[in-house]
Chain A
Amino acid sequence: MVCFASGVCFLFTPYVFGFEVVAFILLLTLSIIAMFFDILPVLLAALLSALIWDFFFLTPQFNFQVGTTEDKIMLSMYFIIVLVNAGLTYKIRKIEKEAREKEEKEQTLKLYNTLLNSLSHELRTPVSIIIAATDNLMTGSPQLSADDKVSLIHEISKASLRLNFEVENLLNMSRLESGFLKPKKDWCDIAELIYGVLRRSKEQLKAHVLIVHIEENLPLFKIDNGLMEQVLVNLINNAALYTVDGSLIEITAGSINNELVITIEDNGNGFPDDEASKVFDKFYRLKNSKAGGTGLGLSIVKGFVEAHAGKVKLKKSIFGGAKFIIEIPAESSSTIYAS
């Protein structure tokens, strides 16, 4: 950049302006450089520009010798101004960076507090249930009927499964946060994946009407089976948790423009328009949502889909509820091997 500016100046010097103007143009160039580069390259550019100015513009030209005392003073002044300029810009940038880091830290702290609030509720509820129920069982109070005991045991079981689900989500979140999450891609039979998830979530889905539509002859796709399983588990459980019994959940899978497209929609109440853009944010929970859930589920969905370079969108379902669309660009087996 210095060479370029000097070159341009050199062409015009004899006709338009003298060497003093060149010094100003070089100074301007250096100021711009200082705004974008680190201190070292700027100092190097400063030195280079001083030498160029001396060599090409100061009389005697094409020589590092400096003629008059005036020119000597000018050259050293030029050099000092450039250095001060570089130093100041560097300092300003450093302060800016510190301010940015501080702001980020505050943001993280705020997020952390939200996390603590929602987590302490979500984790403490099942833990309280387990402690209270086991206390009841251990005191062996004679008023406790056999039926009571069975229902206490059921509550313990339900609470521990809920706890397990939350812990699983937390662990997944920390996998995402660590930044080391790399999908382990392998060939996946999408029908096997979807029906496997439905089998695992059978308990949560028993009061819902399921429709599954998988495109005929859908090829295999190369994806991370475990991550996609978690994506579907979270979306399907969400649909089951936030719609009333008897609601419809439709799951489709197909291939559009070499992308794997999976949709999950329901005929529940859907998401309010003004909140739809925030649902994938970490710890975001709808204003009037019922208890259960830390607000991690959908952000894990987003994180895992994006780890596949894919996209997840929330639309309104034609059934009136929510429709999640997952699009994943993935290698597919266009040929079906039969022998």
Chain B
Amino acid sequence: MTTIVVLVVLGALVLWGINVYNRIITLENRYQNAWSQIDVQLKRRTDLVPNLVETVKGYAAHEKEVFDNVGKARAAMTAAKSVDQSAEAANMMTAALGRLFAIAEAYPELKANQNFLMLQEELSGIENKIAYARQFYNDAVLQFNTVITTVPGNFFAGPMGKTKHVYLEVPEADKELPQVSFGAQA
């Protein structure tokens, strides 16, 4: 009789442990997957940039500094290895593109160019997707951090080698740029 009780209690404990363990792994996968969603958008944006630069150059070739900034951001983007570096390069790119679109306002012919309009919509769409994907990423990190720092997850986090993850944040300067994310986060 006693043996059965002990076995049942042990079995329940094991099932409970598996449950908590799986929860932590699921949440970790979720934020990692959320990051790859951001990464997909960053790559798409990087791919569109040369096309945009070519189009704008046709009308505003002398705005050299702007093109240089975009070029630097693109180089940083391509060279980025870690999440930190990608995030930093992405912020650079957002700022550089913001300036480029601000300048485009001064060129009516450019603004009437169909290819430019298409690229502008695509890029502001991507900007918007990055903002949303980043928000989901931060939500996922928040959930993960909450689970591994509260009972019972905190008993498991240590042995599993899980520590709190950091959030992604947009630099303050970004929010002031008027042109980039068309109404996405005002």
Pairing of A with B:
no
Task: Identify the B interface with A (CB < 8 A).
Answer: none
